[in-house]
Amino acid sequence: MITRVFVLGLLSFQPMSGYAIQHYLRLNRAEQWAAILPGSIHYALKKLAAEGLVTLQATEQTGYRTKVIYAITAAGRREFQRLLEKLWNTPEPHYPTGLYAALTFLNALSREQVLIALDAHIAALQHELEMWNRGEATQNVEIPPEMRDFVRLSFANGREHMEVDLRFLRALRERLPALPHFRPSLPSFDEESML
């Protein structure tokens, strides 16, 4: 959905090629903060065109490459509005559900395996935080002045989430070696009374 929002939203400003959309997303590091892979743009454009939400406006020859320029349709503008309203109206709590699920079954793997996985998780999150901070430094230069406050707030929010997750992972890593093995206690129930 996020890729659709970005493609339709950018095309609502002006007709663009898939390459121009990819370039914009790379400059803004959308892969990092919006989980949009630049390679997904051309697929999204073809899908949106098949749905009648964008249309091929022109083709331009640049050297050996053909550049296809897309424009948003009236239906595409309506879809963009619908998706944008959905984003604004859908709360997204942040918590690592996969990690919480894995903790439920902590003793199904050896402690050594879990510690190795935690170390890798911590290293990856530290790297992501470093990249986030570098991205923030370049963003402040490239964005329009009227948007800088919102961008700063967004970067601060993302950084705080990562820092909280790092504190949690480090505390878990520190306590895990001394934690005794346990088995989750499951409530008893009578299957026949459930029917």
Euclidean distance between CA atoms 147 and 139, whole angstroms: 10
The string of DSSP codes covering 147-173 is GHHHHHHHHHHHHHHHHHHHHHHHHHH
Residues linked to residue 51 through DSSP beta bridges, in sequence order: none
Domain of 8, in residue numbers: 2-89
Whether 67 and 136 map to the same domain: the answer is no
pLDDT mean values, one per 10 residues, the chain (195 residues): 92 94 82 79 95 94 87 97 92 82 84 93 92 75 72 86 93 89 68 59
Instruction: Quote the number of domains for the chain.
Output: 2
Euclidean distance between CA atoms 16 and 60, whole angstroms: 12
Which pLDDT score, from 0 to 100, does residue 99 have?
87
Whether 37 and 85 map to the same domain: the answer is yes
Whether 70 and 103 map to the same domain: the answer is no
Report pLDDT digits (tens) over 140-164.
556 677 777 877 888 888 899 999 9
For residues 112-132, one letter each, b for 16 or more C-beta atoms within 10 angstroms of the residue's C-beta and e for the rest, the string is: eebeeebeebbeebeeebeeb
Whether 102 and 138 map to the same domain: the answer is yes
Which pLDDT score, from 0 to 100, does residue 28 have?
75
> Which residues, 6+ apart, have CB-to-CB distance to 176 below 8 Å?
111, 114, 115, 118
Residues linked to residue 65 through DSSP beta bridges, in sequence order: 62
Whether 168 and 124 map to the same domain: the answer is yes
**Which one of 41, 67, 89 terminates a domain?**
89
Look-up of token digits 């290293």: 123
The identity of residue 25, as a single letter, is L
Which pLDDT score, from 0 to 100, does residue 171 have?
94
Question: Quick one: CA dihedral 34, 38, 39, 42, positive or negative?
Answer: positive
Whether residue 60 contacts residue 66, with contact meaning beta carbons closer than 8 Å, is answered with yes
**Which one of 69, 89, 109 terminates a domain?**
89
Whether residue 115 contacts residue 173, with contact meaning beta carbons closer than 8 Å, is answered with yes
DSSP H helical ranges for 28-147: 30-33, 40-50, 74-89, 97-104, 111-142
Whether 105 and 71 map to the same domain: the answer is no
Whether residue 22 contacts residue 40, with contact meaning beta carbons closer than 8 Å, is answered with no
Please indicate, yes or no, whether the overall pTM of this predicted structure exceeds 0.85.
Answer: no
